[in-house]
Every structure is written in C-alpha cells, then in structure tokens.
Amino acid sequence: MKDNVKKQYAYPFSEGNGHDKKLLGGKGANLCQMTQIGINVPPGFVVTTDACLDFLENNKLPDGLMTSVRDEITKLEAATARTFGTGTDPLLVSVRSGSAMSMPGMMDTVLNLGLNDETLAGLIAQTGDERFAYDAYRRFIQLFGKVALGIDDEKFDEHFGAVKAHVGVKADIALEAGHLKEISEKFLEVVREETGKGFPQDVMLQLELAVEAVFRSWMGKRAVAYRKEFHITTDMANGTAVNIQTMVFGNMGDDCATGVGFTRNPGTGENEMFGEYLTNAQGEDVVAGIRTPKPLQQMQDEMPAQFERLSELQNQLESHFQEVQDYEFTIEKGTLYCLQTRNGKMNAAALVRSSVEMYQEKLLTKQQALLRVDPEILEQLLHPSLDPDSRVEAIAKGLPASPGAASGKCVFDADLPEKRGGSGEKVILLREETRPDDIHGFFAAQGILTSRGGKTSHAAVVARGMGKPCVAGAEGIIVDVALRQAIVGSSIIHEGDIITIDGASGDVYLGAIATIEAHFSDELNVLLAWADEAAELKVMANADTPDAARKAHEYGAMGIGLCRTERMFNASDRLPIVIDMILANSSDDRQEALDKLLPIQRADFIELFSVMSPDPVTVRLLDPPMHEFLPTEQQLIDQVESLRTYRDVVRGRQTALSAIASAPPLPQPFGDLSEELVESVLSKKLEMLGKVRELHEVNPMLGHRGVRLGITYPEIYAMQIQAILEAAMECVSKGIEVRPEIMVPQVITSEELLHVKRTVDKLTKRFKDKPSFKFGTMIETVRACTRARKLAGIAEFFSFGTNDLTQATFSFSREDAENKFLPMYNDSGILQDNPFEILDTQGLGQLVEMAATHGREVREDLKIGICGEQGGHPESIRFCHHIGLNYVSCSGPRVPVARLAAAHAKFREKDYVVPGH
C-alpha cells in the first residue's frame, strides 16, 4: 500500500522544510528558509528532486505533478493578484534548477515564463512600457527556445547582433522598443523555423516544458562533468529541484535594479559590502558580463533607502545561515526582493580570514570556523604570486577576479586547454567572455583571462571556485577567435604565445614572469593553530634536504616524517662519488667511496637536525636500486658512440697535424680534449654501461633495493647510520636537542631488521654516551603488514610507505597504471579514485589497520604514521585518525592542508564510516 501514498511533489516557499536540501535542492530550501524568517522573497514554490528522479527514470513527469503545479500557480495568482497566461496584470515566473549541491551555471533556467501574445499585450497595457515588455519577451523567447526547445543560442544571437549593427548601437540598453519588437518577431520566426511549430501560447505547456528541460539538464554533459570534477556523488546530490518563482523586474525603469552580492568580500574575506548591480536591468545582465556593472557601494548614493535595506538583508542572512552568503536581489520600483541565496564560494584566503573574523564576531565557534574551511582549499594559498621585483610592464589591466598568478600558452577556446593541459602543457584560457559550456577548459587551464565582464561574471565566479587565477574584463584586449589572436594596443598575442596574468592585481603580461611563493597570512596561522589544538594526529613533512626542511618548518610541520637519503646523493658534487661506489668491484673500493660520502651526509644531517630541533627527523636508509643513480643504457650507448666518433676525429687530426698544418676542426660537444682524456672518459662510460647491464631488472619496483641492498652491501647502511649517529652527537655537543629516527625501507621480515639493528648496535658502542634515537621500519611491503607483530618486537616505530604499498596491493606499477589504464578505470567508475592520491581504505586500509593493531599488541607505545602522497589528503587523514595512527607525513606544501584535515578528522570522528566497509 506504501506505493499508493501519494508523494507531495511541490512545496510553496512558505511551507517547504528549509533544511531538506536533498528534497528541495539548496536553492529551494534556502528560499523556504528566507521566506519563513521574513525576508522579502518573491513568492513561489519548489518542485522536488523526487519528481526529477521519477522523470529521469520514466522519461515522463510523474502523474499528478502538473496538477500540483497548477494548484501552486493558482495560489501564486492569489498571492500576487495576477493572472497566469492571461489578463492585463499577468503573472510571470522564473523556472530555475537547484540541487542539493550548488552547481552554479551547470543547469538550465528560464525567466519571464508566462508571456504569450495575450500577456505581452497585457504587460504593455499594464506597464505602458513597450520597450520593457518586448525586452522581457525577446529574453524569454531566446531562453525558452534554447532550454526547452533546444535551439542553438547562435540562431538568436545572429539576429540580435544584426539589429544592433543595423541600428548602430553597442549597448543592449540603447536599443529602443521598436528594435526589441523587431528582435522578438525575428526570434519567433527562428522558433518556427527550428521547431516547425509556433511558439507555445499555452503557459501551462510552457511551464511543463520548462520543468522537463530543467530536469533533463541534470544529466546534461556540463552538469555530469561538473559533478565528476568535484566528486559530487548521488549520496550528496541526486536530481535537481525546480524553483518556480514570481518574476520581479529590475528593468522597469531607473527605480529598478538588479544585482548580486556577497555578505563579505569573497576575494579577501573582508567584512565589507561586496557585489555589483545594474540599474534598469535583469539579473542575467549582471552575471553574463554584457554590461559592466557598478559596485554595490555606489547604491548608497544612487538609491540610499534600498542600500539600507540591502545592509539589513546581509546581516539577516549571515546571522541566520552562519555563513557568508552569495545572494541575488532585484529592486522593482523601489522594493528590494531577495531572489536567492547560497553559501558564498570564496577563495582560501577569504575563507580563512572570514572564519577567523566570524569567530571574533561571535558568529561562529572555533570548531565551526575550522569546519567551514575545506582543507583542500588551502592549497590555493600556496600558489605563487608575481615577484614584485620583476619590473616588467603590464600590457593590459583587467579586474582582479580571482587571486594568484599564472603563466602559460595563450589559447582561445575551451577545448584546447583540455587537449594541451592533458599533455602537461600550461595554458591560459583567453576569451571575450566565458559561458558554462567552457567549463572543461577551466579544469585544464592554469588561469583565465577575459576581455569583458566583471568580478561576478561567469569566468570570475568559476575561477574563484576552483582557486584558479582570473583576470576579468581586461577591455584593452581585443580577442579575434577566428584569427586565433588578440590585439593589445600595438601588440598581437598569437595562440601559443606565453602570457602571465596576476589575479591579485588584474595585470596581464607578455611572456612568463617570475613568481614568488605564497606566505602565510596571520589569519591562516591563527586558524591552523586552532587546528593543531584540536587535532590528535601530528603532521610531519617529507623533506630530504636542509632547504626543504626549512620550508616544511614554515608550513608548520611537526617534524620530518621521511627524509629520503638517496636524494642527498643526487647533488652534482656527490653523484660521481656514488657512481664510484656502485662501480666498485671490491668491498675496499666501495668503502673508499663511502668514506668520501660520510662527511657529506653527516653535514647534511647536522643541518637537518638543527633546523627541526627539537622535533623528530626520520631518516630512511638508502632505498632505490643502484641503477637509478646511473644513466640509462641508451644514454650511455649514445655517449659511447659520440665519444668514439670524437676520438676518431681527434686521432685523424693528430695524424694530420703531425703531417701538415691543416687539421680537421674538432666536433662538439667535447671541446679540445686530448685523445688520452677521451679514452679515459670512454673507458669509464663503458664500465658504467657494463654495470647498467649487470644491474638491469625486469621489474625494478620489485627488485634489488631497500634493505635487500643494505644487506648485500652492508658498508652503505653502516656509513649512513654512522653519519646519523655522529651528526646527532655533534648537535648534542652544541646544545641542540635532536630526535633522530633511523628507518629501514622495504622490510619483509624481522630478520632483516635484526640484521640492520646489529650494525646500529655495533656503531652505537663507539660512543661513550649512547646517542638517543629511535630505530624503526617502513611498512611498505604487504608482507611487512602481515608480520607486524614480529616487526614491532624490534621496531620502535612503523611508517607506512603507502606509495609502494598501493602498488603492491593493486599490482599496479604507478608509472604504467597512470599512463595506461588508471584514467580509464576512473572514468568508467571501476575505481572511484586514484589510489595513489587517496588512500584505498577498502583494500589497503584493511592491511594498514591490521598491521597497526598487531604492532601495538606487541609494543603498546609503538609510534605509527604514514608517509606517502596520501598523507596529505583529507580523506586519507580521516582514515588515519580513525585507526589511531600518531602522525601523517606529506610534502611540505601539503602540511597546512593536513593540519586542518587532522582537526576536521577529530571533529567528525563520530560520524566516520570507512568507505566501502
């Protein structure tokens, strides 16, 4: 009988449950809330997401839906004292999408619905404003034509442009009633031509088609791409609601206006009025960037009473929603209406600042202040900005629409960045203005530059949401897509030329400009200090050199969780010694090379320990296979080849020299080397080639590396351990508190650990005072996970190497997988995420949890963490908190993200369910 319980598909704003975003969509729910707390919202109602899902499943509107809609319309007619589809005071409505998650611009909207021949006449009669009426009509025909009838925008734009050209005006507002009437008539012809039928006169049919169109747009290409990009699952939003709302008009004269506002500055977070408006315009004019709007502040002079109302509205919205609001308003003949509101999308800096200030203003608790900042967004703060010392002259200036600086090759359409960006090239998307259809171009571009539109234009809003730099409305740039070029004064930017934009200043430059790294704002430091107070997980950094350690320290790392010693070997003054060590044919020769490396490593460690003092520094002993330090076989073959050629030429030249005066010139790249020197280089290269071939491995990931190498060539680990211990003692002798930790990689059995432990013990005995340190192991083989109890008998800490563990668990070679099949697996939904970025809690997570539990069974105070790319990912951090790890370690710039994520993990621990369990 349950099925027979009739579902309610439509709720008036005055009745809908404003907290049920799943059912009513975010926009609809907020309209209900606003209506119910007394904000002046044009009356309307919401058609539920349930109806949408039903429609998408059955490909027809559910039974009874249109009856409910008609009922609600009847109520609207009563409330507004207007009539729908007839009469001289016709009711016009907007039809807007609105799902549980905000997807701005991704779905369809129809405005001014309710116009037909009769109501158009009525509207003219009623307002006495023919221009207004035809303007509304032509807008309606185009939007409805596009959205509900599927007619290409360009078909309409052509006629619109032609009329403007013919009349000789640039601004839409300069068109007169007659022109707009002509345009409307042409538009009606377009509809007839394209659909073979006249424009629908039945306004309920208009409404039905519009609702269907909005429903359909949920599965539209743009919307689907957007949900994928932002990981919006059906759990989070399923289907869209439709909001049907009485139209109010900002374009009925100079006592009318329309605008959008943020309750705080979304670029800086400053508590100031922020937004733009246009007098005598409809909302779409503002966001479309067709006319350049005025800042809200200007309203204080132009419409002081309405400005007062607007201020009140802002306070009302923030104190009710406890969040910065992004709202739309219209002033119709002096009356302020709020058309919609939603949580404001802000960039990271703005979020952080507003969080701190809203706590100070007692609008939020610390926990709320922290939770409203998505950890991932802090990445933006780590974006570079332009070096203020680079004294290059800007070629153009636009609005600083989304902060950050970016350089890249200039491209003129949204498909190109996707193609080029996909291959790793950096591009800047340059457009006259952008539209929702361009969204895929945004994902792949480094930054966006438009020649038209304001700070709330599509380009600006979307770029800010993505944290990408954007300069909008740089009007000095004339874009010619057909010629694939842009003219700026006397210069021409061709497609492919490198440009730089500075979203903080609005400046545009030719060429790539030097950038400097972001520095932490005071607010960010305040916020992250709150996070550290709240979090249980510590956040360490992966850093391999003293420089990297210094940076990690600035990012707030609480120690070094992973120092990959081999990276110290790669410096150009060290590599030759390392190569000698590898080429050594005897233990003695190897020792000779190691003796040279010892003081270098020791000096590095001293600096590293000093920088991080008194925090722990975990040093991983040599891990990669030997051949990684050598050139590739092909490189060596090429080098040998050119050396031989060179030698032959040198020989010929010497012979020639000894005979006569004229000798052939020497080829590059070796310069004037003697034959002996060439021979000696050649013989070294041949030796290296032999070694490279000897060391060749079929699957180097699974080869002779880590502790296997350390056991085969015990001298290497002995040198490294000695360097660590001596460095620690040296620091202690200087009064620097240090906490070194020695970590063994690639362990599969406790026997290996014991093996290395014996070396450690032997070397420790050399010191009168035993240096204080921890001895532990990476857990980066699956077998180590299964042997955790045994390993914990020897190791004082575990560090999960989740990069290698992921490879072993999936049997995916990262390099191969990400190039060959992983994207396809993600696209087709076989795998939800890239497990190299987000810890695979369903599979690998089980092993990690098991190993952690087993390890602690044996050693209660076992210190456990993860180091690996996933350590900086909020979802992974949540899991690590859940299973009780002590720390995560990630790359330096991810440390702030991880610190905040660790606090979130703590706050949200109660409602955590391991995904897929």
Q: Give the residues lining the site for a second copy (CB under 8 A).
A: 697-704, 708, 711-712, 746, 748-749, 751-752, 755, 780-783, 786-787, 804, 807-813, 815-817, 820-821, 824-825, 828-831, 840, 842-844, 846-847
How does DSSP assign 574-613, residue by residue? Answer: THHHHHHHHH-SSHHHHHHHHHHHHHHHHHHHHHHHHHHT
Distance, CA of 917 to CA of 455 (rounded, Å): 44
Contact 618, 799 (CB under 8 A): yes
CA dist., res. 722 & res. 762, Å (int): 10
In the bound state with a second copy, the residue whose beta carbon lies nearer, of 99 and 806, is 806
Least distance between a second copy and beta carbon 219 (Å):
21
Q: Which residues contact 637 (CB under 8 A, 6 or more apart)?
A: 689
In the complex, least distance from residue 523 CB atom to a second copy, rounded to whole angstroms: 42
Is 188 buried (19+), middle (13-18) or exposed (0-12) by CB count in 10 A? middle
- The burial of 883, by beta-carbon neighbours within 10 Å (0-12 exposed, 13-18 middle, 19 or more buried), is given as middle
Give the integer Cα–Cα distance in Å for 789 and 108. Answer: 58
- Rounded to the nearest whole angstrom, what is the least distance from the CB of residue 788 to a second copy in the complex? 10
Q: How far is the CB of 811 from a second copy (least distance, A)?
A: 4
* Smallest distance from a second copy to CB 730, Å: 33
Closer to a second copy by Cβ: residue 529 or 824 = 824
Distance CA(26)–CA(8), nearest Å, equals 18
C-alpha dist (Å) from residue 405 to 441, 494, 501: 18, 20, 6
CB of 784: closest distance to a second copy in angstroms? 8
Nearest Cα to 740, choosing from 622, 612, 624?
612
**Cβ closest to a second copy, residue 87 vs residue 714:** 714
Beta bridge partners of 867: 801, 889
Comparison of 544 and 840: residue with beta carbon closer to a second copy? 840
- Which of these is catalytic: 867, 873, 880, 904? 867
User: If DSSP codes are grouped into helix, strand and coil, which group holds residue 671?
Assistant: coil
Give the CA angle between residues 216, 220, 226 to the nearest 5°: 130
In angstroms, the Cα distances linking 15 to 37, 74, 76, 78, 581 are 12, 16, 13, 16, 79
For 80-86, the CB contacts below 8 A with 24+ separation are 80/43, 80/246, 82/246, 84/114, 84/203, 84/204, 85/114, 85/116, 85/118, 85/119, 85/202, 85/203, 85/204, 86/118, 86/119, 86/122
For 53-157, where are the E strands, in sequence order? 93-99, 109-113
Q: Judged by CB, which is closer to a second copy: 220, or 714?
A: 714
Q: Which of 440, 458, 854, 881 is catalytic?
A: 458
Helix axes 522-534 and 348-360, enclosed angle (nearest 10): 70
**Shortest CB 621 distance to a second copy, Å:** 16
How many Cβ atoms sit within 10 Å of the Cβ of residue 642? Answer: 15
Quickly tell me which residue has 């190497």 as its tokens: 801
What's at 664, amino acid-wise? P
Q: Residue 659 burial (CB < 10 Å; 0-12/13-18/19+)?
A: exposed
What secondary structure does DSSP assign to 478-517, as a single string? EEETTTTEEEETTEEEETT-EEEEETTTTEEEESPPPEE-
Complex with a second copy: residue 634 or 733, whichever CB lies closer = 634
Give the residue with the Cβ less far from a second copy, 665 or 829: 829
Give phi and psi for 555, each to the nearest 5: -75, -5
- Give the CA distances from residue 385 to residues 33, 163, 377, in Å, rounded to whole numbers and listed in that order: 40, 44, 16
* E strand residue ranges, 736-846: 739-744, 774-779, 797-801
| E strand or H helix at 617 | strand 616-620
CA dist 689 → 579, 675, 879 (Å): 12, 21, 46
Toward a second copy, which CB reaches closer, 397 or 708?
Answer: 708
| Spatial separation of the C-alpha atoms in residues 206 and 188, rounded to whole Å | 14
Active site residue 882: no
Q: How far is the CB of 56 from a second copy (least distance, A)?
A: 22
Closest approach, Cβ 640 to a second copy, in A, equals 16
Residue 59 vs 699, nearer CB to a second copy: 699
Minimum distance of a second copy from residue 887's CB (angstroms):
24
Distance of alpha carbon 450 from alpha carbon 18, whole angstroms: 37
Helix and strand counts by DSSP (H, E) for the chain: 35, 31
The set of residues, in sequence order, having a beta carbon less than 8 Å from that of 332 and lying 6+ positions away, is: 248, 249, 250, 252, 256
- Pick between residue 124 and residue 756 the one whose CB is nearest to a second copy: 756
CB of 256 to a second copy, least distance (A): 55
To a second copy, the closest distance from the beta carbon of 12 in angstroms equals 43
Beta partners for residue 498, in sequence order: 409
338 is catalytic: no
**Judged by CB, which is closer to a second copy: 494, or 783?**
783
Rounded Cα distance between 682 and 316, Å, is 79
Minimum CB distance to a second copy, residue 295 (Å): 51
Name the residue among 539, 541, 544 with its Cα closest to residue 601: 544
Of residues 200 and 703, the one with the C-beta less far from a second copy:
703
For residues 131 and 705, which CB has a smaller minimum distance to a second copy in the complex? 705
Q: Which residues are catalytic?
A: 458, 867
